[in-house]
Amino acid sequence: MNDFSHLDETGKVSMVDVTDKMPTCREALAEGAVFLAPETLAAIQDAALPKGDVLTTAKIAGVMAAKRTAELIPMCHPLNISFVDVRFSLQNDRILISATAKTREATGVEMEALTAVSVAALTIYDMCKSADKTMRISDIRLVRKTGGKSSHKTTYRPRTGVLVLSDSISAGEGEDKSGKILKAAFEREGCEISHYEIIPDDVALLSEKVGEWINGGTELVMTSGGTGMGPRDITVETLAPKFSRRLPGVEQALHAYGVGKTKTAMLSRLTAGVIKNSIVVCLPGSTGAAKDALAVLIPTVFHAFHMMQGEKHSATEK
């Protein structure tokens, strides 16, 4: 949900920073109910209540409320909502309300859908309260959400290796930061880190290490460094010819995200592909590139392993 309130170090509430999250198409469906007397339902159907058309008013109220959710709930992020719809189903003792909200943002629209249902229900209550003292609002809940982490299968966790290429760091003249960022992030996601090494920019050694790791069962190889324009940047030339399949979509997503933050990212020659049954992603050696890659790849890259095993897409994926 995009109600991201939490306590910071001083005990104060704060909004979660979603700056580094990728915008994706997101959708949420919420439902609720207003219980009424049968005669009240009949009056609604006959447009016989003093305040007029109950359901049309409630629909407009729900749509308006969804668009103003961030003004009502303090820690919600303001979203550019692309679609909202509120619908009603009249039954024997209740009106069922459903609300759908859509966006293409870095966080979801669950709160917008829930707010639409809630305000639509309150509007029905207000329109009918003079005629029905038995009304009650109940069962407001999130039914479904898609987009972001929930839009495809990502439960599989590959054995992962992190290989840092740097003449200076391997010689002890600097400290690896990018590789540690990658290693820590995949560990947090539940991946077994089968290897983490730092080597110089050496063609033979790079080829040897990656081959050994893949033959030993490493399923995801993340390299850091050697994708630039320098004379010692040899990662792409060494590994790309070994790919049985390129992953241009991964490359494009990484490039697009990086360029959106730093123009010099367009100079990177990062690449991604498949060697045997393993995925290899070759990243620039900066900490920024590592963080950007994590924002793009996790958890979507895990879906690739479901695909490689021949599994079908999840039921929520359109």
pLDDT over 60 (residue 7): no
77 annotated ligand binder:
yes
The confidence score (pLDDT) of residue 315 equals: 45
Residue among 101, 276, 284 at smallest CA distance from 181: 284
CATH number, domain with residue 235: 3.40.980.10
Q: How many whole angstroms separate alpha carbon 28 and alpha carbon 33?
A: 17
- 168 and 301 both lie in a single domain: yes
Question: Distance of alpha carbon 84 from its chain centroid, rounded?
Answer: 20
Question: Distance of alpha carbon 151 from its chain centroid, rounded?
Answer: 8
Q: How many whole angstroms separate alpha carbon 230 and alpha carbon 169?
A: 16
Residues with active-site annotation: 126
b/e for 49-77, b at 16 or more Cβ within 10 A? beeeebbebbbebbbebbbebbeebeebb
The confidence score (pLDDT) of residue 14 equals: 74
Q: How many domains does the chain have?
A: 2
- 50 and 173 both lie in a single domain: no
pTM here is 0.63
The confidence score (pLDDT) of residue 5 equals: 45
Side-chain-side CA neighbours of 35 within 13 Å: the count stands at 6
DSSP output for 61-95: HHHHHHHTHHHHSTTBPP--EEEEEEEEEE-SSEE
111 annotated ligand binder:
yes
- 133 and 177 both lie in a single domain: no
pLDDT in tens, 124-141: 999 999 999 999 999 999
pLDDT in tens, 239-266: 999 999 999 999 999 998 888 878 888 8
- 172 and 75 both lie in a single domain: no
Print the domain residue range for 53.
6-147
266 annotated ligand binder:
no
- 72 and 207 both lie in a single domain: no
Choose the final residue of a domain: 82, 112, 147.
147
- 137 and 172 both lie in a single domain: no
The confidence score (pLDDT) of residue 28 equals: 92
Which residue would you say has higher pLDDT here, 259 or 186?
Answer: 186
- Does residue 107 fall inside a structural domain? yes
- 181 and 302 both lie in a single domain: yes
- For the record, the structure tokens of 55 come out as 């359901």
Per 3-state DSSP, the chain is made up of helix, strand and coil in percentages (nearest 5) of 40, 25, 35
